[in-house]
Amino acid sequence: MKTTSIITVNFNQPKVTIDFLKSVKENTPEKNVEVILVDNGSREDHEDAYKAVYPELVYIRSAVNLGFAGGNNLGIEIAKGDYLLLLNNDTEITENFIETMIAEFEEHPEIGMLSPLILYFDQPELIQYAGFTPMNYLTCRNRGIGSMETNRGQYDLDSRETGYCHGAAMMCRKADLNAVGLMAEHFFLYYEELDWCEKFKKTGKKIWFTGKTKIYHKESISVGKESSIKTYFMTRNRMLFIRRNTGMLNTLLFSIYYLLFACAKQIIVYLSKGRTDLIKWVFKGILWNFTNSKNSHKLGFKI
């Protein structure tokens, strides 16, 4: 019987994390599953409260916030499962979720990374994710398949290759990481899962979506709709993703588009909304890429 390690990361969200653990407890088999919770530099230690809900919990506490990739990597390094299931702590899973995900891997050995159908928790009839289209590397834009559609079961039997997985719920084989490696911690927040998918593709593995199972996602709890940290890392990491995953000519052409059109448009939007406080973070995100190598671990943002 294949074993699964569920890995989740918490940052100052004890109530949300407790709800997550309750969901896992109710919807996973008692055997062959370990749950690893990485507390990522939270102000308070709630280990006892978490273990009251899930006594078998493997708990790791980091003294500092290592970001999405760094926190998950801590869990990956100690995970014992044949499969690794990375779930946001602001998700709740459904019955037979793990069994269905593993069955897809068994049926399709070419799968490297797999994500399920994702619905909004507060609007459970609304689809957040049913796959992604391929990336346009000249603009670093792609499109979410099924995004904002009403769920009428149109993806329930759908299982197929897709552009990218969704960071809220990703599963892979632990053995594949011998070739792929861990998530790049250079990003800290945003784009790291897309970069990881690119690494899987380079080893010949496929990125896959299945609608045969689903999760519910409490979107935007962690960062918020508009903030300095989101503006900075979204701006910085979009360019960093292109620098890490395309050649010099593509990076040059993207940079021209990004500076003259995409970032200029974003600044105009912030001006129209009266959010002039965010404009400097657009410039800081751009500047980071011109002053740091694509493999730099310098964040350029005080966490």
β-strands 169-173, 83-87 pairing: antiparallel
- Residue 223 confidence (pLDDT): 44
Using CA atoms, how far apart are residues 101 and 3, in angstroms rounded to an integer? Answer: 12
Structure tokens at 121: 């928790």
Using CA atoms, how far apart are residues 300 and 303, in angstroms rounded to an integer? Answer: 9
Closest by CA position to 128, among listed 168, 157, 172 = 168
Compute CA distances 91 → 23, 187, 214, whole Å.
Answer: 9, 22, 10
pLDDT band at 224 (very low <50, low <70, confident <90, very high): low
Question: Tell me: the pLDDT tens digits for 11-69?
Answer: 999 999 999 999 999 999 878 999 999 999 999 999 999 999 999 999 999 999 999 99
- Residue 220 confidence (pLDDT): 57
- Extents of the domains making up the chain: 4-217, 228-291
CATH number of 4-217: 3.90.550.10
- Residue 172 confidence (pLDDT): 98
Using CA atoms, how far apart are residues 112 and 122, in angstroms rounded to an integer? Answer: 30
- Residue 1 confidence (pLDDT): 78
Q: Is the pLDDT of residue 178 over 70?
A: yes
* C-beta neighbour count of 134 within 10 angstroms: 11
In one letter, which amino acid is 274?
Answer: G
For the chain, percent of residues with pLDDT exceeding 90: 96
The answer to whether the beta carbons of residues 100 and 114 sit under 8 Å apart is: no
pLDDT band at 225 (very low <50, low <70, confident <90, very high): confident
Q: Is the pLDDT of residue 10 over 80?
A: yes
**Mapping DSSP to helix (H, G, I), strand (E, B) and coil, where does residue 3 land?**
coil
- Residue 298 confidence (pLDDT): 96
**Summary mean pLDDT of the chain:** 96
- Residue 303 confidence (pLDDT): 82
pTM to 2 decimal places: 0.95
Q: Is the pLDDT of residue 73 over 80?
A: yes
For the chain, percent of residues with pLDDT exceeding 70: 98
- Residue 117 confidence (pLDDT): 98
The answer to whether the beta carbons of residues 183 and 69 sit under 8 Å apart is: yes
Question: Tell me: the pLDDT tens digits for 195-223?
Answer: 999 999 999 999 999 999 999 999 854 44
Question: Tell me: the pLDDT tens digits for 125-174?
Answer: 999 999 999 999 999 999 999 999 999 999 999 999 999 999 999 999 99
The H-assigned helical ranges of 151-278 are: 177-180, 192-202, 228-245, 248-257, 263-273
- Residue 9 confidence (pLDDT): 98
